[in-house]
A and B are shown apart, each in its own frame.
Chain A
Amino acid sequence: MIAKQTQAAWIVIVSALGLSACAPVSPWQRGTLAKSSMAIEPTPMQTMLSEHTHNSREAASANSSASGGGCGCY
Chain B
Amino acid sequence: MVVIKHIKAVGRFVSGHLKANQPKGKPQATASPALQALTVAALALPGLMLPAASAAEEDEVDFQYSHYEEGQRDLYGAKSTLHPIQVDSVLGKARVSLSDRIKFAFNYVQDTWSGATPYTTSPLAAGGNEPIRQNTASGKTIVTGASPITETQMYLSKNFVPVAFDTNTGKRLLRTLQPVHVLAMASPETRKQGDFKLGYEWDEAALNIGGGLSVEPDYVSSFGNMGGRLDFNQKLTTLDFGLSYTNSDTSAIMDHDAEPYVIKTAFAQQIQQTGGLSIIHGNRQDWAGSLGLSQILNKNAVVTANIGYTHSTGYMNNPYKAVTIIFADPTSLGSDPSHPQALVGDVKTFLEQRPNERNQFTTGSRYIQHIGFADAALHLDYRFFHDDWGINAHTFEADWVQPIASTWTVTPKIRYYTQDAANFYYPYIISKQAFSKTVITGYDANDLPITTTTAYNPNKLPANFSSDQRLSAFGALSGGVTINKKLSKAISLEAGFEYYTHAGSLKLGGGGDGSYSDFNYYLVNGGLNINLDALGGGGGHDGHHHDGHHAQPPAGVMFGHMLKKTNDIMVGYRYMYSRQAGDMLHGTGVASDKQIQNHGCVQGFTGYCRVTPAYMDMGMHMLDIMYAPADWLNLMVMPQFMDMDMDMRPLKGVTVNPIQDHLHGGHRTGGIGDTGMYALFKMFDNDIHHVHATVGLSAPTGDVDIMIRRMHRKDNGYLHYGMQLGSGTWDFKPSLTYTGQLDDWSWGGQFSATTRMENHNGSGYALGDVFQTTAWGGYTLTRWLSASVRGIYTVQQQIDGQFNPVSGTDSLGNTVSNVNPGSKANYSSGPMDYPTSYGGRYWDVGFGLNFTVPSGTLKGNNVGVEWLQPVQDNVNGYQLQREGAFSATWSVMF
Does chain A bind chain B? yes
Cα distance A24–B223 in the bound complex, in angstroms? 40
B214 lies within 8 A of A45 (CB): no
Interface majority SS (helix, strand, loop, mixed), chain B:
strand
Give me 16 other A-B pairs in contact (C-beta within 8 A), A9-B363, A69-B214 excluded: A9-B384, A28-B10, A28-B17, A38-B368, A40-B366, A40-B368, A46-B482, A46-B494, A46-B525, A49-B496, A57-B476, A57-B500, A59-B422, A68-B221, A70-B193, A71-B318
B242 lies within 8 A of A65 (CB): yes
A58 lies within 8 A of B417 (CB): yes
Residue B164 at the chain A interface, CB threshold 8 Å: no
A60 lies within 8 A of B529 (CB): no
Contact of B288 among A9, A41, A45, A66 (CB under 8 A): A66
**In the complex, which residue of chain B has the Cβ closest to the Cβ of A18?**
B303
B392 lies within 8 A of A2 (CB): yes
Cα distance A69–B214 in the bound complex, in angstroms? 7
A47 lies within 8 A of B51 (CB): yes
Size of the chain A interface, CB-CB below 8 angstroms: 60
B91 lies within 8 A of A71 (CB): no
Which chain B residues border A20 with CB–CB below 8 Å? 237, 295, 297, 303
Cα distance A1–B473 in the bound complex, in angstroms? 14
Which chain B residues border A23 with CB–CB below 8 Å? 298
Cα distance A40–B13 in the bound complex, in angstroms? 25
Cα distance A25–B237 in the bound complex, in angstroms? 11
Residue B527 at the chain A interface, CB threshold 8 Å: yes
B494 lies within 8 A of A71 (CB): no
Cα distance A47–B54 in the bound complex, in angstroms? 14
Cα distance A68–B525 in the bound complex, in angstroms? 20
B391 lies within 8 A of A34 (CB): no
**Interface flags, B202-242, vs A, CB<8A=1, else 0:** 00000000001110101101011101000000111100001
Which of B36-44, B636-644, B803-811, B837-845 forms contacts with chain A? B36-44
Residue B789 at the chain A interface, CB threshold 8 Å: no
Which chain B residues border A62 with CB–CB below 8 Å? 383, 395
Cα distance A71–B89 in the bound complex, in angstroms? 15
Q: How large is the interface on B (under 10, 10 to 19, 20 to 34, 35 or more residues)?
A: 35 or more
**Interface flags, A46-74, vs B, CB<8A=1, else 0:** 11111001100111111111111111011
Would you list which residues of chain B between 812 and 858 have a CB under 8 Å from chain A? none
Which of B22-30, B305-313, B434-442 forms contacts with chain A? B305-313
Residue B281 at the chain A interface, CB threshold 8 Å: no
**Interface flags, B418-429, vs A, CB<8A=1, else 0:** 011010000000
**Minimum distance in angstroms from A52 CB to a CB of chain B:** 8
**Minimum distance in angstroms from B670 CB to a CB of chain A:** 14
Residue B409 at the chain A interface, CB threshold 8 Å: yes
**In the complex, which residue of chain B has the Cβ closest to the Cβ of A13?**
B365
Cα distance A53–B372 in the bound complex, in angstroms? 33
A42 lies within 8 A of B411 (CB): yes
Residue B385 at the chain A interface, CB threshold 8 Å: yes
Which chain B residues border A45 with CB–CB below 8 Å? 62, 64, 91, 93, 494, 525, 527, 529
With contacts A33-B45, A41-B51, A42-B379 taken as known, whether A28 is within 8 angstroms of B365 at the C-beta atoms is no
**Minimum distance in angstroms from B531 CB to a CB of chain A:** 11
**Minimum distance in angstroms from B29 CB to a CB of chain A:** 18
**Minimum distance in angstroms from A39 CB to a CB of chain B:** 6
With contacts A22-B295, A65-B225, A66-B288 taken as known, whether A33 is within 8 angstroms of B42 at the C-beta atoms is yes
**Minimum distance in angstroms from A57 CB to a CB of chain B:** 6
Contact of A9 among B394, B496, B527 (CB under 8 A): B394
With contacts A1-B509, A54-B417 taken as known, whether A64 is within 8 angstroms of B310 at the C-beta atoms is yes
Cα distance A71–B248 in the bound complex, in angstroms? 9
Residue B735 at the chain A interface, CB threshold 8 Å: no
Which chain B residues border A64 with CB–CB below 8 Å? 242, 244, 288-290, 308-310, 360, 362
**Minimum distance in angstroms from A30 CB to a CB of chain B:** 4
Which chain B residues border A68 with CB–CB below 8 Å? 109, 193, 195, 212-214, 221, 223, 246
Contact of B393 among A32, A34, A41, A59 (CB under 8 A): A59
Would you list which residues of chain B between 313 and 338 have a CB under 8 Å from chain A? 318-321
A61 lies within 8 A of B51 (CB): no
Cα distance A24–B227 in the bound complex, in angstroms? 27
* Residue from A13, A50, A54, A73 having most chain B Cβ neighbours under 10 A: A73
